Amino acid sequence: MTRLSRTVRLTVHPPGHTGAAPQPHRAERTVSLRSGHILSDGLGAHYACTVSVDGPPDPVSGYVISISEIDSAVRRELPQLLAEALWPASATAARSAGDPAALVRALAHRMCETLGRPIAALALHVNPFDSYSWEARMPDTVLLTAQVECAAAHRLNAPQLNAEENIALFGKCNNPNGHGHNYRVEATVAVSLGDPGRMGISTLGRILCEHVERRIDHRHLNLDVPEFAGTIPSVEHIASACRSWLDGPVRAAGGRLVRVTVWETEKTSASVEA
């Protein structure tokens, strides 16, 4: 089985906006839109949607599904759903609008209908750091994902090894005065769609700030964070520590911690399942 994932980016304009009206000389821009570029003549709300489909590659085309089918389906269904949520037409609509978790499930169901086949997962990226996602294996659950950024220093040094062995193992990361990283810490939390008081991304963001950012931002992990007093603060151990810090607060807020990922650099990260 192969999973094909396609991300579609789009801009939703408020009612009455005329800046993005189709013009004849823009016909060639269809290719750019299908390539995932945002094209807009005015201000609007920018979103990205990732749709994943599982299946065997077609023996003729090699495709699990044509990406143009996904592009067309997302652009047909998502703008209207977003517009209704962002700019409700009545007070009654306003009371039921603005629930991204419910919107993601509704969009997933519409994708299945429009594509004429099941989808495996769908994620709505509401900004570069946060997203809501739905998976077919957990149809009554939505996953919230949020990030915080922290600048911190650490030193990789194993006390049971001598100086030469530590340098051989850790290289520059064994610098006696430590070195720094701009860490990104991402938490994914499962919430039940049946819970009307379920936590949202803003709550998850506050938990990340309070229980991760305040602990490690602008700190020397070896010296300032008690959890690393006897533990090498590798990215793997940092991810495990973040999981332990977040699990209780997330449960208290009504969610279930699923995964924590810590990026040490753009090329190096560690994830731990909860």
Residue type (1 letter), 258 = V
Report the SS3 class of residue 243: helix
> How many domains does the structure of the chain reveal?
2
159/108 same-domain check: no
Rg of the chain on CA atoms, in Å = 22
101/81 same-domain check: yes
Q: How many CB atoms lie within 10 A of CB 18?
A: 8
Query: Could you tell me the CATH number of the domain that includes residue 52?
Result: 3.30.479.10
The residue out of 102, 121, 136 marking a domain boundary is 136
Catalytic residue among 84, 135, 173, 209: 173
Distance of alpha carbon 121 from alpha carbon 117, whole angstroms: 12
Q: Where are the beta strands (DSSP E) in 216-255?
A: 219-220
Q: What tens digit of pLDDT does each residue of 50-70 get? A: 999 999 999 999 999 999 999
- Whether residue 93 has pLDDT greater than 60: no
86/118 same-domain check: yes
Confidence class for position 28, pLDDT limits 50, 70, 90: very low
Q: What tens digit of pLDDT does each residue of 235-271 get? A: 999 999 999 999 999 999 999 999 999 999 999 999 9
Distance of alpha carbon 184 from alpha carbon 213, whole angstroms: 10
Q: How many helices (H) and strands (E) does the chain have?
A: 9, 9
Report the SS3 class of residue 255: coil
127/144 same-domain check: no
123/65 same-domain check: yes
The residue out of 94, 115, 136 marking a domain boundary is 136
93/108 same-domain check: yes
Listed residue (235, 259, 263, 233) closest to 247, CA to CA: 259
Q: What tens digit of pLDDT does each residue of 174-190 get? A: 999 999 999 999 999 99
For residue 21, the model assigns a pLDDT of: 42
| pTM of the full structure | 0.85
145/249 same-domain check: yes
Q: What average pLDDT does the segment 120-137 reach?
A: 96
Tell me if residue 112 is catalytic. Answer: no
Q: List CB contacts of 136: < 8 A, sequence separation 6 or more.
A: 108, 118, 119, 120, 121
129/178 same-domain check: no
95/216 same-domain check: no
For residue 22, the model assigns a pLDDT of: 41
Confidence class for position 29, pLDDT limits 50, 70, 90: very low
Confidence class for position 94, pLDDT limits 50, 70, 90: low
Q: What tens digit of pLDDT does each residue of 140-183 get? A: 999 999 999 999 999 999 999 999 999 999 999 999 999 999 99
Listed residue (178, 201, 185) closest to 239, CA to CA: 185
The residue out of 136, 168, 201 marking a domain boundary is 136
126/146 same-domain check: no
How much is the mean pLDDT over the chain? 88
179/130 same-domain check: no
Tell me if residue 77 is catalytic. Answer: no
- Classify residue 142 as exposed, middle or buried by CB count within 10 Å of its CB (0-12, 13-18, 19+): buried
State the residue range of the domain holding 170.
Answer: 140-273
Catalytic residue among 49, 154, 181, 264: 264
Q: What tens digit of pLDDT does each residue of 192-244 get? A: 999 888 899 999 999 999 999 999 999 999 999 999 998 999 999 999 999 99
Tell me if residue 264 is catalytic. Answer: yes
For the record, the structure tokens of 135 come out as 């998976």
Give the dihedral of Cα atoms 215, 216, 219, 220; nearest 10 deg.
110
132/144 same-domain check: no
For residue 13, the model assigns a pLDDT of: 79
For residue 150, the model assigns a pLDDT of: 97
Distance of alpha carbon 124 from alpha carbon 132, whole angstroms: 5
For residue 24, the model assigns a pLDDT of: 35
For residue 34, the model assigns a pLDDT of: 34
Give the dihedral of Cα atoms 43, 45, 46, 52; nearest 10 deg.
-150
Catalytic residue among 113, 149, 179, 218: 218
- Whether residue 44 has pLDDT greater than 60: yes
Q: List CB contacts of 12: < 8 A, sequence separation 6 or more.
A: 44, 45, 47, 79, 82, 83, 86
